[in-house]
Amino acid sequence: MTAHDELGQLSIAHIDCDAFYAAIEKRDNPSLIDKPLLIGGGKRGVVATACYIARPYGPRSAMPMYKALQLCPNAIVMRPNMEKYRVASHQIRDILISATPLVEPVSVDEAYLDLSGTARLHDQPPSVTLASLAKDIAQQVGITVSIGLSYNKFLAKMASEQDKPNGFAVIGRHDSVSFLHTQSIVSIPGVGPSLAGRLKMDGLFSIGDLQALTPQDLESRYGDTGQHLARLSRGEDARRITTERKAKSISAERTFDRDIGDLPTLLKKLWTVCEDVSTRLKAKSVASGSVTLKLKTTRFRSLTRSLTLNSPTQLAEVLYRTVTPMLNRELKQGPFRLIGIGANALTDSAVADLPDLLSDDLERVKNIEYAMDTVRAKFGNKAIRKGRGD
């Protein structure tokens, strides 16, 4: 357990699984434990997770796999097993909820916790409860986590990144400003490459540089963004822990083993992606109000085209029919190394695919697709498929 003067007064935590995908694979295959492991989409894809043995050589998340293998040629590459990771994620969430109902999942491998008021319930301060949670996760799930403890979400996440893997770090009220002073400006949520470039052009490289300016100065320079920067640079974050996290979009994509430029082959890949997105929409009981086509050329140039639907949909067939003309129009930009679609403007499934008085085709498509879903639920995803898939 780490030591800190404010340890008994802090109750907002961020828990982050250490190299989650790789940790699960090493748990299930002990022969991988001492080997560099990359989880991702093969040589043409990107790195989803690099284990801690591989990271010193340079591989990191979102790096093209070919580049990661140039840096770490001895690495073992495995494709992700998302179903296995979801099972482990649910196990971890159940453990966290045993300590407090105020658990906010951020992704499959991280979450915020509000342990305010739990000291009397557990007869111990939140810091001790968190240490117990880490032990329970190690024993029951077989992986390690890193924990950050502070008085708000921003600083709790900052803390969890300070002592990885299998660490426990604390940032208190009295040391938050001094801690933030030396941190990079890109560690602030919302500061992406574009904003970071603008700030650096203005001579602002660290959070300490922001602290040297008044909130009024920052607001006059950057408007609402300046207010955001001023607050976080001083350790102020009023966001609460929320137990429900609504997805803003649902997407899926495929990276090809070879570049593809012919329409029939691309359409097969597109159909598979549409089915993936449709399955996720149905599982989350939401519908898509707009759809985005994503293509990546052989030179890594990304193309995105979006269209608002006449009415929300959950159906793979509707997604496919909507995106096919968009793909046709962009075919001359190929060949392509990746195709994907995104379902955006999500809404409740109750308004999805309502009957069309002008055509009974939608109702027929809907009945066929839901009949196929019923067969798959009973006999597996490969039990029945349309011929257009790859």
Catalytic residues: 110
* Contact assessment for residue 137 and residue 115, using Cβ atoms and an 8 Å cutoff: no
DSSP notation for 307-356 = EEEEEEE--HHHHHHHHHHHHHHHGGG--EEEEEEEEES-EEGGGTTPPB
* Contact assessment for residue 18 and residue 138, using Cβ atoms and an 8 Å cutoff: no
Torsion of CA 259, 263, 268, 271, to 10 degrees: 110
Q: Which residues contact 93 (CB under 8 A, 6 or more apart)?
A: 103, 105, 111
List 168's β-bridge partners, or say none: 147
Torsion of CA 225, 201, 210, 216, to 10 degrees: -50
Sheet holding 12-17, edge to edge: 103-107, 110-114, 12-17, 145-150, 168-170
DSSP reduced 3-state for 41: coil
Return left, alpha or beta for 117; rule: phi > 0 is left, psi -120 to 50 is alpha, else beta. left
CB hemisphere CA count around 237 (13 angstroms): 22
Per DSSP, the chain holds a count of helices (H) and strands (E) of: 14, 13
* Contact assessment for residue 188 and residue 181, using Cβ atoms and an 8 Å cutoff: no
Between CA 341 and CA 294 the distance in angstroms is 6
The encoded tokens of residue 81 equal: 């097993």
DSSP reduced 3-state for 210: helix
